[in-house]
Amino acid sequence: MLFHSTQYLLYFLPTVFFIYFFNYKNFYFPKVISLSIVSIVFYSAWNIYFLPLILFIILCNYYFHKLLLKNKRYLFLLISFNLLILIIFKYADFVILNINLLFKLNIEYINLPFPLALSFVAFQVITFLVDYYDRSIKKIEFNYFFLFIIFFPQLIAGPIVKYNYVVSQYKNKKNKKINIENVVAGLILILIGFLKKKLLADNLGSFADLGFQNTNDITTIESWISSVSFTFQIYFDFSGYVDMATGSALLFNIKLPQNFNSPFKAFSLIDFWQRWHMTLTSFLTNYIFNPCVRSLKKVSFLKMMFLIMFVFIICGFWHGPSWMYGFFGLLHGLGLATNHIFNKYIKFKLNKIVSWFLTFNFVNLTFIFFRSQDFNEGLVIIYKMFNFKNYYISNSQTIELVYSIILILACFFISLFFKNSYERFNKYLNYKEI
């Protein structure tokens, strides 16, 4: 069940809103249980056969989390347990593929379908385990822990949230009554997200597909249109889902943390990753990079740069079991290291327009590898982009290309000069963790 589907918007969400706020005397569930039940239904609508898996993950982490206070070894074991489940379902066939290629074997693939939200669940559970081990979380109640993992608005596209951040909202009695301002703001956010997804991302996706599926035939202009179309497709697809997730949660007076902050306004790659998928960046920093730095006997700038590249290779593979995703992460790790080296050793500042131009084009070029099926396809598109001898446009595609250029220009204007959804609705979305 996707956020932009008729099933979600016209049937599921209104029904959940009614169940949550309108309880009869003889048929009453506590609010937290009501949300948990409808979240189970939401998860099951994707693939009900994986419901036992997520219930198993929730139960295991809840009943074994107290062991963390006894010995640090249990923290390692529980994190390994969650990562192992993720690896089995998401990366097992990728590992088999590479073993077969490396050792010339013929091991059969497992062909397991990927459960909904398993990556987000794994990362969210890890934040909980580490925070509990660090004594940041004091009291755990099963019903709130259950909802913390399975709350339906964040299952598809995040954000990754901390336990204290949302549980304090679940417990707030003021949040259990209809707030008309939140409802109106939530519905507007859902509408904005829907339009971003359907009008911008989906149409841009069709232009991107034309290029990426015909790499040998496209011209210079067509290759640029294809690459920029995909860059804006993934931008508005993700931004749209974030808006719809935020708006859906706000209907129930739950404020999710900001996860997207106009990343194409960034003037550096460091700035970009502080704006793009902000909760993922925070997770990578606080739960992978910082512990790695603390584990070093002697910290040096060079070692930190290598750690950044290592962390972003992990970030790349987190997106999926493909060397292309890993290469995308490596490129961004190298780009961030270069950005840090420039800031540390180069004493002059680039013009803001030049900085923006370099940042956007670096992101655009790296997204080519994110979208491509293999290295060759990505390199062919980049070659075509800079092969200025091949700049003509075929007459049969003139109208489509003109339409795509108009849409791309509109996307530039929206992403650069409009306030983002969080800025416009900050009054309703700003929440300070208790």
Q: What is the pLDDT of residue 396?
A: 53
Token look-up 């189970």 returns 40
Q: Which of residues 177, 198, 228 is at a domain's end?
A: 177
Q: How far is CA 89 from CA 85, 169, 300, in A?
A: 6, 32, 37
Question: Does residue 263 belong to any structural domain of this protein?
Answer: yes
> Nearest to residue 40, comparing CAs of 3, 1, 80?
1
Residues 19 and 143 in one domain: yes
According to the model, what pLDDT value does residue 433 have? 60
What is the count of structural domains for the chain? 2
Q: Is residue 419 part of a domain?
A: yes
What does the pLDDT look like over 242-251, one tens digit per residue?
999 999 999 9
Please tell me the distance from the alpha carbon of residue 329 to that of residue 314, in angstroms, as a whole number: 7
In a domain, 183, yes or no: no
Q: Give the model confidence (pLDDT) of 253-303 as tens digits.
A: 999 999 999 999 999 999 999 999 999 999 999 999 999 999 998 999 999
- Give the residue numbers annotated as catalytic, written as ranges: 319
Domain assignment present for 230 = yes
pLDDT for 391 equals 63
Q: Give me the pLDDT at residue 388, please.
A: 75
Q: 147 with 13, same domain?
A: yes
| Predicted confidence (pLDDT) per residue in 120-169, tens digit | 999 999 999 999 999 889 889 999 999 999 999 998 878 999 999 999 99
Q: Are 243 and 156 in contact (CB under 8 A)?
A: no
Within-domain flag for 167: yes
Quote the pLDDT of residue 275: 96
Range scoring the smallest mean pLDDT among 40-49, 110-119, 393-402: 393-402
172: number of Cβ within 10 Å: 12
- Mean pLDDT computed over every residue of the chain: 91
* The predicted structure's pLDDT at residue 129: 95
266 neighbors 272 (Cβ within 8 angstroms):
yes
- Is there a single domain that holds both residue 17 and residue 84? yes
Helix (H, G, I), strand (E, B) or coil at 24: strand
Cis peptide before 321 (omega within 30 of 0): no
Three-state secondary-structure class, residue 320: coil
Distance CA 371, CA 234 (A): 10
Position of tokens 């070894």?
Answer: 73
pLDDT at 173: 82
d(CA 420, CA 434): 26
pLDDT at residue 409 above 90?
yes
Parent domain of 123: 6-23+30-177
CA distance 97 to 172: 49
Crossing angle of helices 118-133 and 72-103, in 10° steps, is 150
Tell me what pLDDT residue 352 has.
93
Q: Are residues 313 and 413 in the same domain?
A: yes
Check if the beta carbon of residue 159 is closer than 8 Å to that of residue 278.
yes
**pLDDT tens readout for residues 35-47:** 999 999 999 998 8
Residue ending a domain, choose from 177, 207, 228: 177
Domain end, chosen from 177, 204, 235, is at: 177
More confident residue, 156 or 419: 419
Within a domain: residue 59? Answer: yes
Cα separation, 374 vs 185, in Å, equals 42
Higher pLDDT, 332 or 175: 332
Contact 317, 325 (CB under 8 A): yes
- pLDDT, residue 25, reads 53
What confidence score (pLDDT) does residue 397 get?
65
Q: Are 198 and 4 in contact (CB under 8 A)?
A: yes
Q: What is the mean pLDDT of residues 47-61?
A: 93
Q: Which two tokens stand for residue 134?
A: 């660090």
Percent of the chain having pLDDT more than 90?
Answer: 73
pLDDT (0 to 100) of residue 387: 83
Same domain, 336 and 243: yes
Q: How far apart are alpha carbons 130 and 128 in whole angstroms?
A: 6
Tell me the residue length of the chain: 434
